[in-house]
Amino acid sequence: MSFFTDLAQQYIDGEWRSGSGSWDIIDFNPYNGEKLASLTVATRYEVDEAYRAAERTQKAWAKENPYVRRAVIERALRLTEDREADIVEAIIDELGGTRLKAQYEVHLAKEFLREAIALALRPEGRIFPSPIDGKENRVYRLPVGVIGVISPFNFPFLVTLKSVAPALALGNGVVIKPNQNTPVVGGGLIAKIFEDAGLPPGLLNVVVTDIAEIGDALIEHPVPKVISFAGSDRVGRHVGAVTASHFKKAILELSGNSALVVLEDADVDYAVDAAVFSRFVYQGQVCMAANRILVDRSVLTEFTDKFVARVRSLKTGDPRDPDIQIGPVINAFQADALTTLVDQALAEGATALVRGTTVGNLVEPTVLTGLPDDSPILRQEIFGPVALLVPFDGEDQAVRLVNDSPYGLSGAVHTANVERGVDFARRIETGMMHINDGTVHDEPFVAFGGEKLSGLGRLNGDASVDAFTTQKWISVQHGRSEFPL
């Protein structure tokens, strides 16, 4: 099977077909510009078809024995394992991810499928006491119905599965809208795995389209009860506003401006390793990436010398080459935006310790320091291989600097005293914080999500159960009630 030939289509009500829009989305390899596929966009009509198919099929799926649902997820896991090598190659081609990144993404996706297998049997009903004699209060946990999933380009296979697999395991139907840059890895590939795993036709659908074609039809449609969105805070703000106005629940995984903090008692060599990974994994196109690296002034010189040396050693080039650590950013727009961002910071007075060049979509690493306190780059997400080194004097100033951001997704602190690190982490306004580690982590059992402009809601484990199910109270009166009227 050629993924980019066979799966570059809409998948609606169990059928692979073209969209009926008037224009095409072209899927390019971001490294060499090769055309991978061309997909005619879906219209509002196809969006409606997809949601109606999921709604129709979901009712029977929700009544299905959860062991049957679990068996489908188990088969999806086995198919992912069987096709792992091909999926890795597709991620490299469509995302420009390095081989290490692609392997890491598939590894995590398999872990989340394993968790979804367990989730199929996790929802539990409860019986609560009542102050009324003879009354029994039963609370059932039921699937919400249909979920809309809007996935990003940077980890499309993993992030899409993080919503799709638990939603299906818990008895829901799903409609996916993958990012235009990754319509196969984030859409068709996932649909094919579940189709081959025996998922009932119509339960999972993929619509490849754009807001220019469908407007807000995907999030305004009356069928979906939950919209799971991962992307920028700018778009997420709009998604949240529209879903709220239609009384839908939104799970929003948005932008980050994470900081990795190096206290004066840290293991500097280890902190350098963590910082290099946290900033430059997948070219820095990760919401949890450490945009800012804060270093206590007492170890600043040692850390800076070692960090800069490591960054200079990173190799930029063809992501298929296993010796390459930095591949292309996703497209020319992003490459140009990063160049402009760095130029503006330098014009404002920043100093470039490393100044990478840009050739096509290949953006070499840059390290900036000496940034003015009011520099806009310190408070925004940098979706690319640009690191900001910021010195501080003492913990209190470090806390103020980290929290001086509209975002609060992830972070890390390095110290020889673990409990000191925990106390520091508790002061940081962020959804996730890691002691003596990197900033980029995602685990199937642990609630994942951010504070401030980094999102609303949580996913993973029990948080996914909360996201994709609802509670229903049914009371039973044994005997006769007495009514005051």
- What value does the mean pLDDT of the chain take? 97
Instruction: Identify the CATH number of the domain in which residue 420 sits.
Output: 3.40.309.10
- Return the residue matching tokens 């839908």: 248
pLDDT of 169-208, one tens digit each? 999 999 999 999 999 999 999 999 999 999 999 999 999 9
Residue-level pLDDT at 482: 86
User: What average pLDDT does this structure show over 330-357?
Assistant: 97
Q: Which of 222, 219, 190 is closest to 206 using CA atoms?
A: 190
> Are residues 111 and 17 both part of a single domain?
yes
pLDDT of 131-150, one tens digit each? 999 999 999 999 999 999 99
What distances in angstroms separate CA 298 from CA 265, 268, 294, 392, 397, one per listed residue? 9, 11, 12, 9, 14
pLDDT of 360-376, one tens digit each? 999 999 999 999 999 99
> Are residues 81 and 26 both part of a single domain?
yes
Q: Is residue 343 part of a domain?
A: yes
Residue-level pLDDT at 57: 98
Q: Is residue 324 part of a domain?
A: yes
Q: Is residue 337 part of a domain?
A: yes
Of the residues 213, 253, 364, 381, only one is catalytic, namely 253
Query: If pLDDT is split at 50, 70 and 90, which confidence band does 2 have?
Result: confident
Kindly tell me if the per-residue pLDDT of 266 is higher than 70.
yes
> Are residues 233 and 275 both part of a single domain?
no
Q: Please give the DSSP secondary-structure letter assigned to residue 129.
A: -
Q: Is residue 143 part of a domain?
A: yes
Kindly tell me if the per-residue pLDDT of 160 is higher than 90.
yes
> Are residues 203 and 329 both part of a single domain?
no
Kindly tell me if the per-residue pLDDT of 124 is higher than 90.
no
What is the total count of domains within the chain? 2
Beta bridge partners of 414: 262
Instruction: Identify the CATH number of the domain in which residue 122 sits.
Output: 3.40.605.10
- This prediction's pTM: 0.96
pLDDT of 454-467, one tens digit each? 999 999 999 999 99
Residue 287 annotated as catalytic: yes
Q: Is residue 266 classed as helix, strand or coil in its secondary structure?
A: coil
Residue-level pLDDT at 113: 98
Query: If pLDDT is split at 50, 70 and 90, which confidence band does 26 have?
Result: very high
User: What average pLDDT does this structure show over 334-340?
Assistant: 97
Residue % of the chain over a pLDDT of 70: 100
Lowest mean pLDDT among 122-136, 273-287, 379-393, 427-441: 122-136
Helix/strand/coil percentages in the chain, nearest 5:
40, 20, 35
Q: Which of 195, 171, 194 is closest to 68 using CA atoms?
A: 171
Residue-level pLDDT at 440: 98
Q: How far apart are CA 56 and CA 61, in angstroms?
A: 10
Range of the domain at 238: 3-254+454-473
Q: Is residue 483 part of a domain?
A: no
User: What average pLDDT does this structure show over 49-61?
Assistant: 98
> Are residues 249 and 267 both part of a single domain?
no
Of the residues 287, 364, 381, 395, only one is catalytic, namely 287
Q: Is residue 75 part of a domain?
A: yes
3-state secondary structure string, 280-310? HHHHHCCCCCEEEEEEEHHHHHHHHHHHHHH
> Are residues 177 and 272 both part of a single domain?
no
Kindly tell me if the per-residue pLDDT of 35 is higher than 90.
yes
> Are residues 238 and 374 both part of a single domain?
no
Q: Is residue 444 part of a domain?
A: no
> Are residues 218 and 361 both part of a single domain?
no
> Are residues 61 and 90 both part of a single domain?
yes
Where do runs of H (alpha helix) occur along 249-361? 268-280, 300-313, 332-347
Residue-level pLDDT at 1: 63
> Are residues 171 and 316 both part of a single domain?
no
Residue-level pLDDT at 434: 98
> Are residues 125 and 64 both part of a single domain?
yes
> Are residues 202 and 338 both part of a single domain?
no
Sheet holding 469-477, edge to edge: 126-128, 135-143, 469-477
Residue 253 annotated as catalytic: yes
User: What average pLDDT does this structure show over 348-356?
Assistant: 97
Q: Is residue 448 part of a domain?
A: no
